[in-house]
Amino acid sequence: MTLSPIARIRRFNRAVTTETGVLDQSFLGRGRPLGAARVLNAIGPTGRAVSDIRAFLDLDTGLLSRLLRSLEDEGLASVTEDPADKRRRIAHLTPEGLREYAAYESLSDTRAQALLDRHPHPEALLAAMDLIASALGRDRIEIVESDPHSAPAIFCLESYYAELAARFAMGFDPAKAARLDSDDMRPPRGVFLVALSDGLPSGCVGLKGTDKGYAEIKRLWVAPSARGLGLAKRLMSKAESYAREMGITTLRLDTNSALPEAAGLYQRLGWSEIERFNDDPYPDLFFEKRV
């Protein structure tokens, strides 16, 4: 008996479907149809545009409208018009709505916590979930412009530094690396891009403006759970198009031979190796590309 990959995926689907079924049942326990509960959860604590909810839950406009009315009747939500565009409307939760929202959150969080608590290797379980979520969500990974000091950017950069520290024989100390002025990676001089996979920061790249006639690509990183999905290539090509828009014609970057997959990627993407162009202690490989 060899168990086919397809059979294993089927088993996974069955287990997960059962689990969500149980959760839905517990949601019903709060005395509200699932549709209304889903809308309440989609509104969220910060409020959300009606059109946004519709796209997210893939609901008919009539159906959503009625579900919002039912939440309003319950005193859980209120819908107000968007001052910027009076056609659009924004749904918010009332204080009672926030309480109900928290109650739903706690139902699912309790289940999640119980799953973690009784598992012998919670970290392995979470890593497996990240891997699957990234594989399933690869088409939904979006690359967004992000301030280098924003929370998702910092999350990526810290993961990146930690990985360099683990992979470089001499370790890696961000303080010793070439100083990086955040302003160089903010418009109009440059840009910092973060890849978000269902909200999880899963990769980043910086385009750093200089005064030397070229711009640099810095801090290219892809989360382990998202590797192999072509994300590095997408990040690079997006950074390049930003450069083109800014009128930059030459790009440079440096890397280290301890990261062979990076050098391989640059070559595949049309970069050429050049002589050392800075005195940063960590890199030992240097590339250039005209865009």
CA distance 289 to 291: 6
Which of 52, 74, 130, 147 touches a second copy by CB under 8 A? 130
Cα separation of the two ends of the chain: 54
Of 133, 177, 180, 258, the residue at the interface with a second copy (CB under 8 A) is 133
Task: Kindly state whether residue 36 participates in binding DNA, applying the rule CB under 7 A.
Answer: yes
Q: What are phi and psi of 51, to 5 degrees?
A: -65, -35
Strand 200-209 versus strand 285-290 pairing type: unpaired
Which residue in 247, 241, 227 sits closest to 269, CA to CA?
Answer: 241
Q: Does 175 bind a second copy (CB under 8 A)?
A: no
Write out the H or E segment, with its range, that includes residue 99.
helix 95-117
Q: Which residue type occupies 271?
A: W
Q: Which stretch binds DNA (CB under 7 A): 34-42, 118-126, 162-170, 247-255?
A: 34-42
Pick 62 or 120: Cβ nearer DNA: 62
Query: Using the rule CB under 7 A, is 268 a contact of DNA?
Result: no
- Does position 249 interact with a second copy (CB under 8 A)? The reply is no
Stretch that binds DNA, among 80-88, 127-135, 171-179, 278-286 (CB under 7 A): 80-88
Tell which one of 34, 55, 129, 170 touches a second copy (CB under 8 A).
129
- How far is the C-alpha of 129 from the C-alpha of 125, rounded, in Å? 6
Residues present in the chain in total: 291
Q: Does 149 bind a second copy (CB under 8 A)?
A: no
Tell me how far the alpha carbon of residue 139 is from its chain's centroid: 12
Under the criterion CB under 8 A, does residue 15 sit at the interface with a second copy?
yes
Size of the site for a second copy (CB under 8 A): 59
Residues that bind DNA (CB under 7 A): 33-36, 49-51, 54, 59-66, 68-69, 79, 85-89
